[in-house]
Structure 1
Amino acid sequence: MAGGAVISANPLQLDVRSHLKCLGICFIVTISSFQYGLDYALVGGFMAMPGFLKVFGYYDDVAGKWAIDPTVQQLISSLMTIGTFVGSLSVGPFSSKFGRRHGLWMASLLNCFATAVMIGTTNLGALYFARLVLGVSVGWFLTFAQVYINEAAPAHLRGIAFAVYQSQLSIGSIIGAAIDYGTHNMPGMESYRIPLAVFFVAPTIQGVALFFFPESPRWLMTQGRGAEAEAALRRLRHRHIKESELQAEFNEIRTSTVEQMELHNGKNMWVEMWRGTNRRRSLLCIAIICFHCANGSSWINIYTTYFLTTAGVSEAFSYSTMVTCMGLIGVLASLFIVRYIDRRVIVLSGVGACGLCQLAFAISWTVAPGTVEAAKVVIAFISLFTFFYVAYAPYAWLMGGEYVSNHLRAHTFGLATALNFLGNWLGVFTAPYFINPASLGWSAKYGYIWFASNAILFIFTFFFIPETRDRTLEEINEIFEAKVPARKFKSYVCTGTEAMAVASVVEKREKDIC
């Protein structure tokens, strides 16, 4: 499964150097994931900051320290996730009319507005509202960015582009954890207001850069704007690209997109995604993207600092930063192998390892609850969990975007992302009932539930997830239309898209002769 590339009709030069310009554009677009990682790290740290708890928490006379009500904790953490659900669900209708770039611009504006409210308020209601709006912006950031990258990056480099996407998220988490560590001992509101001010950086950079980037050529083709689509594709590719390569790629996009539009034109996209071969594609897209919420990452990501603090671990903020760094190491490790190892192998290894890590720290807390030894085991396996999760996570997003057609991508991917965030919300909202000493107080034993969930993901991946490494989006469309079983995707020869790519070259040569 790990050896040998698929037989692909990709007409481009299959190297990295020829496509550095496009990778640079994708890098700027992925700044949106930096914002998501930043929020997870910052807000998780707020739950253990005296300066934050004095404003939005209460003083526990029994424990002799500041604490936060579980309901307030749930709402602060989960309202952003609800917002991402709403934002992601609206991506399809918005994108159909306005495109990918305008969605990213709107996300930047909403993000800045929500951040300003969070910095300025001391009212819980206003804080809840800001978290909800921030969630909408994050949902748009993540979904529009991933759809854009899927449609802009060359087929053989989509894996690298998504690894960069995930690395931005990890870097955001590291910076967020580091800033929290630097301010958490400040007694006043500046302990959380200083970290929140960092939220303005990423939207500003991306908002300005988007003025210089082209719209997605595949989206332009779905709008019938062929000349603009060709111009956008030319801007995404190296200026010294061979004209035959560019025309071959564009012809493949044009022909395949026109065929897809003829099938769906004038029809309701929310209905079309469940008809014919689109039903299988939609279900696979939703399933693989929801792996992120089904493996237990949500409660670990946002409650690591709080969990370690309540478990009596000293230097909880330092360990939280270390855990986040393990995630960056994981995605950087996958960056060097994603071009050579099948995506199914990466996902299978990731969910299997994540399940075993959850099982390991659950067992340790069962055997020796509340001890220093158990705490060390928990820290070790949370770090390993983060390494393996972040190593495979970008390719789950990538495959979800690859499975659906150009015409339905924004609707299906938006729905899948919304359902994933709904699952995240359930994980974040219910976690305090399990880990908070004021409720069930399971602590690390919560990992038993997520071990079982990861086992299900492993089995599902083995039998149902198809391999798409190095395939163009048009090739993937052809394979699905041919109703090829998941286990035969890798060996299938796409004669249709190969003919599309060659046709434009032959046509151009004939014109040159004439």
Structure 2
Amino acid sequence: MAGIFATRAAFATATPKLFLFCLIYALGSIFFGYDGASFGGVQAMSPFLRKFGKYNEAKGTYTLPKQLASLMNSLPLIGKFTGTIIVGPIIEKIGHRWTMMFTCGVQIIGPIIQVTSNNPAQFIVGRFLVYTAVGLVENVVPTYQSEIAPGVLRGFFVGSIQLCLTTGSLIAGIVNESMSKKVNNSGWQIATALQALPAVLILGLLWFTPNSPRWLVFNDRSDEALQVLRSVRRKEDVDRGLPELEIAAMREEGHVGRREKAPWKDLFNKRNLRRTTIACTVMTFQQLTGVTFSSSYGPTFYRSVGLADKAFVYAVVNNATSVVTAMMAMFFFDVFGRRSLIVHGGWSQGAFLVAIAALGRIQDPNVHQSNGIVAGMQLYTCILHMTLGPGAYITAAEIGTQTLREKTMAFSTAINVVVGFAVVFATPYLLADIGSGTAYIWGGFAFLSSIWAWFFLPELKGRNLEEIDQLFDANIPAWQFGSYETEGLSHDLHAVEQGQVTQKEAAMELEEVEARHAAAADKKQEV
């Protein structure tokens, strides 16, 4: 209950500009969600199958051969992998805003190539570019939001990526349902072309957004960072000097004047290996519990268990309920914490996946058993988008040090892509060979994710990014992170945000720290 009141009080400190800037970036996640779900429906449309597939005499219809279906779904993930690898250094060099502009440009070119395709190879190239943009946006959005949002609301803003993903999937499902009735190529072409629309909208809005304040501080542009913080913090907090306190906390952690980001190899040194392992593992489990399976193969799965007549409708309903639960997750992660949601989300996902697998393997299921499959799929997807789905992005975005945050996020999402590639590549074969039994595999990994989270996933709810450094430096077990007391200005900033101490008390230490910085600067000048 205390967490609910604390979060409600924190929302009173969020300004319209903070919501606007985070929303503009979050919109980039819409085309991420749209593309996967869109192609999940497009590849089941008859005109698309006639153009790119082969006639199956046994079934009397056009189908995509298993190998081609696997390649069309899996090869574009190499583009996503490329995006995740190049994005870290790009952000470090030019900042989040220019990186997002580049991302939108790539996202516009990709659909143009797809819509004009005359053969599968050209279509795959278009999807490759789209997924390169997806790899970029999957890193730009959460790292920007984590660096501009206050610690008490970081889960809310970074968690918005899942809301936009599911919103994109919902839009794709609605578009697919309406376009599936068309008997010519315009159906799949319209559904594919709409991927470019969010990118055009974002390009028109990005000029009004500032760079991340932490990126500015790291590049020795503290005055600009202070202006940004003053614009996204409410007037009362600005008058009381909260932005100055935030800048001082960053300075205390030694970010000022360090213009060089750490190299890739530092992800695996003694100080950072634990953080890297956590980020990569949580991103791995996000894929292994079937997130790509549900988004890319929803209609195909319903067809495989004898529900072809309503496959698109069920997919739309699935996406609609996921939007609601993703919206709930934005609040829950700052109320109940990352650790609790992921632990309980894992075993509950596993339970529904096992039920789906068991019901789906029944020969000639009755109406109640078929409804059970649909209900199980709906509930499993809702839980996924309320727990591990956004939880993986939140954890990976906040767990890295300032010198490695972009690379930690990039490397963990690259691992996510590699695992996702294996999942997407294997799914058509698994569905063809064992049908709904595929859910047993994802269910097993879901149970395993819950066990792993209990022992290894730390609770970072409400902590500012500078505090997280202290928590890992203390080398404490994961289950002690929530109760550990930090020190210095980062602790004071956390206390002010949580309403535990007054601004006046924190300001006293701020003056002492500024005096130490001034003395150190004078001493350096003398030398």
TM-score, scaled to structure 2 = 0.89
Compare relative contact order (CA 8 Å, sep 6+) and give the higher one, 1 or 2.
1
Answer yes or no: is 1:457 the counterpart of 2:457. Answer: no
AA partner of residue 425 (structure 1): F
Matches for 1:5-154 after TM superposition, within 5 Å: 14-154=10-150
Does the CA-based 8 Å contact 1:16-1:157 persist in structure 2? no
The residue that corresponds to 1:498 in the other structure is: 491
Residue pairs, 1:173-212, within 5 angstroms: 173-212=169-208
8 Å contact from structure 1 (residues 355, 450) kept in 2: yes
Partners of 2:45 and 2:491 in 1: how far apart? 58
1:5–1:469 CA contact under 8 A, matched in 2: no
How far, CA to CA, are the matches of 2:129 and 2:442 in structure 1? Answer: 30
User: C-alpha separation between the residues in 2 aligned to 1:478 and 1:502?
Assistant: 21
Pairwise CA RMSD: 2.3
CA distance in 1 between partners of 2:12 and 2:255 (Å)? 29
1:251 matched to 2:248: yes
Aligned match of 1:473: 465
Please say if residues 160 and 339 of structure 1, whose CA atoms lie closer than 8 Å, have aligned partners that are also in contact: yes
| CA distance, structure 1, for counterparts of residue 125 and residue 514 of structure 2 | 60
Rounded Cα–Cα distance in structure 2 between residues aligned with 1:493 and 1:332: 31
Q: How big is the shift at 1:371? A: 5.6
Deviations 1:305-326 (A, max 9, x none): 0121233212211111111112
- Segments of structure 1 that go 5 or more residues without pairing to the other structure are none
Name the residue aligned to 2:520. none
Amino acid at match of 1:376: N
3-state SS of paired residue (2:62): strand
Distance 1:411 1:59, change over 3 A: same
**Residue 384 of structure 1: aligned partner:** 379
The answer to whether the 8 A contact 2:261-2:404 is kept is no
- Residue identity opposite 1:198 in structure 2: L
Confirm or deny: 8 A CA contact 1:88 1:143 kept in the other structure.
Answer: yes
Q: CA 1:24 to 1:416, structure 2 compared with 1: closer, same or farther past 3 Å?
A: same
CA contact 1:111–1:134 (8 Å) conserved in 2: yes
Query: Secondary structure at the residue paired with 2:335?
Result: coil
Secondary structure at the aligned position of 1:471 is classed as coil
Task: State the alpha-carbon separation in 1 of the partners of residues 514 and 456 from structure 2.
Answer: 43
The answer on 1:315 being equivalent to 2:310 is yes
Q: 2:289 aligns with which of 274, 295, 316?
A: 295
Structure 2 residue aligned with 1:344: 339
- Partners of 1:258 and 1:397 lie apart in 2 by 24
Residue type at the aligned position of 1:346: L
The alignment partner of 2:182 has SS state of coil
Q: 2:300 aligns with which of 291, 306, 313?
A: 306
Distance in 2, Cα, partners of 1:255 & 1:186 = 61
Question: Structure 2 stretches of 5 or more lacking a match?
Answer: 494-505, 516-527
**Structure 1 match to 2:437:** 445
Q: Matched residues in 2 for 1:174 and 1:96: separation? A: 33
- Provide closer, same or farther for how the CA distance between residues 369 and 355 of structure 1 changes in structure 2, counting only shifts above 3 A: farther
Superposed CA offset, 1:139-192 (max 9, x none) = 101211111011111111112113322111111111100011001121111011
Q: Whole-Å Cα distance in 2 between the matches of residues 222 and 509 of structure 1?
A: 18
In structure 2, relative to structure 1, the CA distance for the partners of 1:504 and 1:90 (3 Å cut) is farther
State the partner residue of 2:390.
Answer: 394
How far is 1:84 from its partner? 1.0
1:278 matched to 2:275: no
What is the letter of the counterpart of residue 146 of structure 1? P
Change (3 A) 1:320 1:498: closer
Measured after TM superposition, the shift of residue 71 of structure 1 is 1.5
AA in 2 matched with 1:316: A
1:73-97: CA deviation from partner (whole Å, max 9, x where unpaired):
1122112222111101111121221
Q: Determine if contact 2:361/2:435 at 8 Å carries over to the other structure.
A: no
